[in-house]
Amino acid sequence: MTFLFTLAGLVIGGWASRVPDVKAALGADDATWGTINIASAIGVLSSMLLVAALIVRVGPRRLSLVAAPFVVAAPVANALAGHPWQLAAGLLVQGAAIGMLQAPMNAQAVAVEKAYGRPILTSFHACFSIGALGGALLGAGAAATHVSPFQQFALTSTLLAVGLGLTARRLPVEPAGAASAGSARLRLTQGLALLAGMAFLALFAEGVSANWSAIYTRESVGALGAWPAATYAGFALAMVVGRLFGDRVRFRVGTVRMLVGSGVVAAAGVGLALATHTTAGAIAGFAIAGLGLSSIVPTIYSLAGGLPGLPPGRGVALVALGAWPAQLIAPPFIGGVAHAVSLRASLLVVVACALAVAVVVAVLRGRLVPTAVHTEELEATAAR
């Protein structure tokens, strides 16, 4: 499982780091590039809908083994695209593969967590973040040494394919009857809706922080040189650190306190960046926000996998599907509000989202955590 999360991060981070080079090689202007990337969003949404319908019958392991090879191979093919429509088709496949991998990967991680007997899901997400950071660094190094995107992706994808072949047998196998356990129908329960709503808020805050923290530091604070990039780097690094230690915090203080504290810390971090309106404040504030946001979504997936009366894979898939639009909506929403008011004022939305997560957990804790059966078992183990 660790390799699967790292694989996904490496591919996504590596592709994102070479987007300028792929765009330039294609000769696409900004409008064309924006249109091309709609295909990726369509692919993700379509596959997530399919996974939500099939994950109980097919099983997370089989879906992962179908999706992972496409995730590995897609960037290589897309780097060879010579026309916008070719890249659009490739991004449709790439987005569909990533969307098909996301929920099954997390569902299997929930199964490992149950077997392990204590919270470990956030650590898997740390592997994803480390992979994304590593992929971005590899891309930056390849670009600096004039290695083409195709050459970079061909090498990394070959290595990842070998690693996938060596580790595929170690993916969790569903116990007999698991695929047919629970209702095969799509059911939206109150607990599921609450978890999906919280995941949406957390992903919205993550997306805004990742896409706008550096821009805020440069355009609103007025920092020059490497300082804007340092703001995003601090946020990304804090996400990794938070996820490395998030399971330990949850194990010691419990799920409710961890989620409430995470929301408050994230809100305080962005609040610090906005209140001080300085370079140091922005860097420190978004780093604190990264620590706060790092463990919220993995913990919500953990809770979704333990909802009673619902197969774990179905719970994770539906929460992931409900939260996904946040990643699409967040950047343009903030852009629109910033244009109408100011970027500094628009980022108050992040504070509101983080605080909303904390308030929902604090007020509705009885409808969230106690209903997640395996979470009760994990916290009982922690208490002992």
For 240-244, 292-296, 374-378, which range has the lowest pLDDT when averaged over its residues? Answer: 374-378
- Picking from 148, 143, 140, 9, the residue whose alpha carbon sits closest to that of residue 72 is 9
Per-residue pLDDT tens digits for 340-364: 899 999 999 999 999 999 999 998 8
Per-residue pLDDT tens digits for 163-199: 999 988 888 776 444 444 444 455 567 778 889 999 9
What gap in Å lies between CA 261 and CA 269, rounded to an integer? Answer: 12
What gap in Å lies between CA 78 and CA 90, rounded to an integer? Answer: 6
For 295-299, 307-311, 332-336, which range has the lowest pLDDT when averaged over its residues? Answer: 307-311
CA torsion through residues 20, 26, 27, 31, sign: negative
In the chain, what percentage of residues exceed pLDDT 70? 91
For 65-74, 95-104, 205-214, 280-289, which range has the lowest pLDDT when averaged over its residues? Answer: 205-214
State the pLDDT at residue 376. Answer: 47
Per-residue pLDDT tens digits for 318-328: 898 888 888 88
Give 32's pLDDT tier (boundaries 50, 70, 90): confident
- Picking from 237, 195, 206, 232, the residue whose alpha carbon sits closest to that of residue 322 is 195
What gap in Å lies between CA 172 and CA 108, rounded to an integer? Answer: 6
Query: Hunting for tokens 């409900």 — which residue is that?
Result: 322
Question: Which domains, from first to last, does the chain contain?
Answer: 2-180 (1.20.1250.20), 190-383 (1.20.1250.20)
Mean pLDDT of 267-281: 96
Phi and psi at residue 29, in whole multiples of 5°? -85, 180
Output the average pLDDT for the chain: 86
Give 139's pLDDT tier (boundaries 50, 70, 90): confident
Q: Which helix (H) or strand (E) holds 195?
A: helix 190-215
Residue 233 near residue 129 (C-beta atoms within 8 A) = no
For 49, 185, 282, the CA distances from 54, given in Å and listed in that order, are: 9, 10, 44
More confident residue, 224 or 197: 197
Does 311 score more than 80 pLDDT?
Answer: no
Does 103 score more than 60 pLDDT?
Answer: yes
State the pLDDT at residue 172. Answer: 78
More confident residue, 340 or 211: 340
For 20-24, 153-157, 346-350, which range has the lowest pLDDT when averaged over its residues? Answer: 20-24
Residue 300 near residue 202 (C-beta atoms within 8 A) = yes
Q: Which bin fits 183, alpha (ψ -120 to 50), beta or left (φ > 0)?
A: beta
Per-residue pLDDT tens digits for 70-94: 999 999 999 999 898 999 999 999 9
* DSSP per position, 196-262: HHHHHHHHHHHHHHHHHHHHIIIIIS---TTHHHHHHHHHHHHHHHHHHHHHHHHHHH-HHHHHHHH
Q: Which helix (H) or strand (E) holds 31?
A: helix 30-36
State the pLDDT at residue 345. Answer: 94
Give 224's pLDDT tier (boundaries 50, 70, 90): confident
Phi and psi at residue 299, in whole multiples of 5°? -65, -40
**What is the biggest distance separating any 2 CA atoms in the chain, rounded to whole angstroms?**
61
State the pLDDT at residue 161. Answer: 95
Does 65 score more than 90 pLDDT?
Answer: yes
- In eight-state DSSP terms, residue 364 is S
What 3 state SS string does 314-363 have?
A: HHHHHHHHHHCHHHHHHHHHHHHHHHHCCHHHHCHHHHHHHHHHHHHHHH
Give 369's pLDDT tier (boundaries 50, 70, 90): low
For 101, 160, 168, 183, the CA distances from 8, given in Å and listed in that order, are: 8, 10, 14, 30
CB burial of residue 22 (10 Å; 0-12, 13-18, 19+): buried
